Amino acid sequence: MAVRAGVVVTGSEVLAGRVSDRNGPWVARQLLQMGVDVAHLTVCGDRPADLTAQIQFLADQDVDLIITTGGLGPTADDLTVETVAALYGRELHLDVELERRITAIVERWRSRLGSVADSEPLSAGVRKQAMVPAGAQSISPTGTAPGVAMADDSGTLPAVLILPGPPSELQAMWPDAIESACVAAVLERRESVVEATIRAYGLSEADLAATLRTAEKSITGFGELAITTCLSRGELEMVTRYEESAAAAYSEVLTLIDKHHGAQLFSTDGSTIDDIVATRAGGRRIATAESCTGGMIAARLTDRAGSSAYVVGGVVSYANEVKIGSLDVPAALIDELGAVSEPVAARMAEGALNRVGADVAVSTSGVAGPGGGTESKPVGTVCFGIAVAGRPTVTRTLRLPGDRASVRALSVTVAMHMLADALGGA
Amino acid sequence: MAVRAGVVVTGSEVLAGRVSDRNGPWVARQLLQMGVDVAHLTVCGDRPADLTAQIQFLADQDVDLIITTGGLGPTADDLTVETVAALYGRELHLDVELERRITAIVERWRSRLGSVADSEPLSAGVRKQAMVPAGAQSISPTGTAPGVAMADDSGTLPAVLILPGPPSELQAMWPDAIESACVAAVLERRESVVEATIRAYGLSEADLAATLRTAEKSITGFGELAITTCLSRGELEMVTRYEESAAAAYSEVLTLIDKHHGAQLFSTDGSTIDDIVATRAGGRRIATAESCTGGMIAARLTDRAGSSAYVVGGVVSYANEVKIGSLDVPAALIDELGAVSEPVAARMAEGALNRVGADVAVSTSGVAGPGGGTESKPVGTVCFGIAVAGRPTVTRTLRLPGDRASVRALSVTVAMHMLADALGGA
């Protein structure tokens, strides 16, 4: 039997959509990579009744492990430990040693920030964070909030692991947390599952769906494959989870997809376009010349640890003067054709190549909107250029759908694929 | 009584943490802004039993409205409509007119992508998307997936609104969706709630918590305020929701916070640091010179519609040659002090100011990690510079916590605040 988990993310700021949830996805990835099936993820605000309801819901769904994130801070809206303890029928007691350690951490932070708050209510906050449910195991804090792991001795409720909300704290505490006795006991019951990912660019979800329908009819064991597809930022991703015994069926599906959509498939081993650009770059050096993407391509390239080996840098030429002054685009060319034109994109890429001293340069110039669109160049029109030393510069123009954020995000995807192509063709 | 809603996000890719959920937060924002209380948000994969369980859970929590996103595509893992229809006891019937419209949309996309898929399984996908539950109202598709709105005539289940997963489709369909008869009937029962946001920079959550504990003891009506605090990327945000009758209590809390933390408070009207930079820029022009942030500051500044009025552009000087060649940093200075030093950050900012032709320029040079740290400049060490025409250049050095992504994100926050200060002090 698969081990099933449920994840509860707490925090009104997440529920209200003011802050995007970075913990749920991270915890889910860890669990799936360990072979745990994530059945439900729920988000609740700071009302104890809602949190109790969600945990009870997950227990009713027969999950083996519940992981909560958030609600361990010093403020009055942080109620996770006491709410879960109440549901599990545990008293809270003060862990004096923990209180001492948290006090030391808080004092260090306060002195750094030059805090002037009253110390009495501050101690009340620390005391609150040092309360541990009876019989539970405390997970050492990396910030100020300790975690809690506990099992229900009666066996009617799942094991629960309570972790703090700040992603860096949670992630730093994770190794200790999964080694806590009651979590480790659940994890021992796992079975092995394979997860395989393929990615395509320029393929519609409808076409992939059609091919999967064909596969369903013709391939034995297709039903053993848990396939999910997702279109994100112009790339179509298909993830399949299966037990080892269904490997032959997956291989046949892959062959069929490759037959129908081979030209659009760019990854069958889980690698991303970022991985491919990094690998293909080899010793070559990449530069950027960005207008409508305003630095997003450079930011994406440098997201990656070690990118200094192949990213030189670039120019964000948002204003035309910068296209002219820093990338040597002739002013007359902009006057004649407009900044959003393939010849300007070409000169931008060539300017970056020469000025920054790179082997490959990519450029963007487009109308991200909401303003600035014209009849001939509506919002979403983006021109791209790729300059490679010693080769003719390549340009293309696309009309990308959606709002400003969408046009910019899709432009980055296009640029990454053009870069990968340029690096691959050498 | 407040109108309560629950949001269900479907999609194994979201549950698995491979794709971040953009719909839940967006829908929650819309609902809260309309005065609807969002009680729960749940994420489920593509298993009908899990979706049924989540919707039943929300119904058990007495929400008045359930909104689902995703699972309306043509693939076999898209099961929302049939799963919800089964729970609500409705038969599905084919809407022939809808089928015709979806076919036209799919054909247009296929011809653009040069699709070669078999047309029979493609039609099956379209037919699946054109199935509507008996008695439900169909919401016109903007992509290929129509939405569905329906009420439970027996009154035992909440009204449900079923929307597609692609964020641009969902957002485009939203105005029609909330005007559908059964959703509008729920929204009529709303009451008015005020939501107020303040933001601080350089203030610890522990200190704010201490002040709120003081407020709790001393301010009448404090209990009427639903306060949530959240630390995100180095900024502390406090959001308070209250009915009009509690306005005086909120005002007193604000006065107390201002007394204790006035120097750290930078916004009491909901404006973000991005808003403040944009407003303060006035006619002045901003440039960037980025090393460790690799384009993220420029990308952040240009995220904003209309930013071309004050963002000129900048240089991503990831490699030292670019710092020297495009920003006029003396090579000897880098040799002597290293690229991560305040004098280099100062010269980078001045170089951007002069080269790009701006009034204010901000620079970053740091060790984002995971590699590159030394004893004197460990990972997280970041130097910042602000150059303003006609003024001495300002620099500072910080040691930022966390991993590469955290150091880069926090650096952007610091740079935005330094920009705001520089623009405000003129």
pLDDT tens digits along B197-211 = 999 999 988 889 899
pLDDT at A151 over 60: yes
Nearest CA in chain A to B31: A16
Q: Which chain B positions have a beta carbon within 8 Å of A216's beta carbon? A: 76
pLDDT tens per residue across span B330-350: 999 999 999 999 999 999 999
Name the more confident of B191 and B259.
B259
| Mean pLDDT along residues B280-301 | 96
pLDDT of residue B142: 86
Same-domain pairing of A50 and A94? yes
Residue type, A256: L
The token duo for A231 is 């279109």
Same-domain pairing of A264 and A278? no
Which burial class, exposed, middle or buried, applies to B109 when counting CB atoms under 10 A from its CB (0-12, 13-18, 19+)?
middle
pLDDT at A84 over 50: yes
Where does the pLDDT of residue A86 fall: very low under 50, low under 70, confident under 90, or very high at 90 and above? very high
Where does the pLDDT of residue B114 fall: very low under 50, low under 70, confident under 90, or very high at 90 and above? low
Mutate to test the interface with A, among B318, B323, B400, B403 (most CBs of A within 10 A): B318
d(CA A165, CA A71): 7
| Mean pLDDT along residues B309-337 | 97
Same-domain pairing of A309 and A246? no
Q: Which helix (H) or strand (E) holds B6?
A: strand B4-10
Q: Do A41 and B46 touch (CB under 8 A)?
A: no
Region of poorest pLDDT, from A19-28, B103-112, B400-409? B103-112
Gap from A134 CA to chain B (nearest CA, Å) = 25
Q: For chains A and B, count residue pairs whose Cβ atoms are closer than 8 Å.
A: 401
Domain extent, residue B291, equals 274-424
Same-domain pairing of A162 and A242? no
pLDDT at B115 over 60: no
- Among A32, A214, A305, select the one facing B121 at the smallest CB separation: A214
Tell me the average pLDDT of chain A.
Answer: 92
Q: Which chain A positions have a beta carbon within 8 Å of B42's beta carbon? A: 40-43
pLDDT of residue A420: 97
Rg over alpha carbons for chain A, rounded to the nearest Å, is 27
Same-domain pairing of A31 and A177? yes
| Mean pLDDT along residues A307-324 | 96
Which CATH number belongs to the domain containing residue B98 in this structure?
A: 3.40.980.10
Same-domain pairing of B151 and B222? no
Name the more confident of B412 and A188.
B412
CB A370 within 8 A of CB A404: yes
Where does the pLDDT of residue B230 fall: very low under 50, low under 70, confident under 90, or very high at 90 and above? confident
- Among B25, B118, B296, select the one facing A20 at the smallest CB separation: B25
Same-domain pairing of B151 and B24? yes
pLDDT at A34 over 90: no
Which CATH number belongs to the domain containing residue A283 in this structure?
A: 3.90.950.20
Where does the pLDDT of residue B192 fall: very low under 50, low under 70, confident under 90, or very high at 90 and above? confident
Same-domain pairing of A135 and A73? yes
Gap from A310 CA to chain B (nearest CA, Å) = 9
Residue type, B348: M
Percent of chain B with pLDDT over 90: 76
pLDDT tens per residue across span A57-70: 999 999 999 999 99
E strands in A340-409: 360-366, 381-388, 394-399
pLDDT of residue A17: 86
Instruction: Return residues 187-216 of B near A (CB < 8 Å).
Output: 202-214, 216
Which CATH number belongs to the domain containing residue A252 in this structure?
A: 3.30.70.2860
Peptide bond into B141 cis (omega under 30): no
Could you say which of B157, B187, B217 is where a domain stops?
B187
Tokens 């990213």, residue? A311
ipTM (interface predicted TM)? 0.82
pLDDT of residue A116: 55
Rg over alpha carbons for chain B, rounded to the nearest Å, is 27
Q: Do B16 and A27 touch (CB under 8 A)?
A: no
Quote the number of domains for chain B.
3
pLDDT tens per residue across span A205-235: 888 989 999 999 999 999 999 888 888 888 9
CB A413 within 8 A of CB A201: yes
Same-domain pairing of B306 and B413? yes
Same-domain pairing of A176 and A208? no
Could you say which of B131, B158, B187 is where a domain stops?
B187
Mutate to test the interface with B, among A27, A32, A41 (most CBs of B within 10 A): A41
| Mean pLDDT along residues B274-301 | 96
Q: Which chain B positions have a beta carbon within 8 Å of A167's beta carbon? A: 406
Output the CA–CA distances (angstroms, integers) from residue B204 to A45, A109, A129, A165, B415, in the order listed: 21, 8, 15, 15, 19
pLDDT of residue B206: 85
Region of poorest pLDDT, from A134-148, A283-297, B115-129, B405-419? B115-129
Where does the pLDDT of residue A107 fall: very low under 50, low under 70, confident under 90, or very high at 90 and above? confident
| Mean pLDDT along residues A155-169 | 92
Q: Is the dihedral of CA A172, A174, A177, A179 positive or negative?
A: negative
Same-domain pairing of B171 and B257? no
pLDDT at B1 over 80: no
Where does the pLDDT of residue B244 fall: very low under 50, low under 70, confident under 90, or very high at 90 and above? confident
* Residues 6+ positions from A93 with CB-CB distance below 8 Å: A131, A132, A134
d(CA B159, CA B63): 9
Q: Do A24 and B18 touch (CB under 8 A)?
A: no
- Among B43, B126, B285, select the one facing A41 at the smallest CB separation: B43
Q: Do A299 and B295 touch (CB under 8 A)?
A: yes
Region of poorest pLDDT, from A9-13, A48-52, A381-385? A9-13
Percent of chain A with pLDDT over 90: 76
pLDDT of residue A108: 78
| Mean pLDDT along residues B287-296 | 98
Nearest CA in chain B to A237: B13
Q: Do B406 and A208 touch (CB under 8 A)?
A: no
Q: Which chain B positions have a beta carbon within 8 Å of A19's beta carbon? A: 230, 232, 237
A286 touches chain B (CB under 8 A): no
pLDDT at A426 over 50: no
| Mean pLDDT along residues B80-99 | 94
pLDDT of residue A88: 95
3-class DSSP assignment, residue A134: coil
Same-domain pairing of A139 and A171? yes
Q: Which helix (H) or strand (E) holds A425?
A: none
Q: Which chain A positions have a beta carbon within 8 Å of B370's beta carbon? A: 305
Percent of chain A with pLDDT over 70: 97
B230 touches chain A (CB under 8 A): yes
pLDDT of residue A425: 60
pLDDT at A1 over 60: no
CB count, 10 Å around CB of B256?
16
Percent of chain B with pLDDT over 70: 97
Q: Do A206 and B109 touch (CB under 8 A)?
A: yes
Could you say which of B271, B291, B326 is where a domain stops?
B271
pLDDT at A124 over 90: no
Name the more confident of A144 and B70.
B70
Where does the pLDDT of residue B426 fall: very low under 50, low under 70, confident under 90, or very high at 90 and above? very low
Q: Say which DSSP state B397 is in.
A: E
Peptide bond into A370 cis (omega under 30): yes
Mutate to test the interface with A, among B213, B227, B256, B411 (most CBs of A within 10 A): B213
pLDDT of residue A386: 98
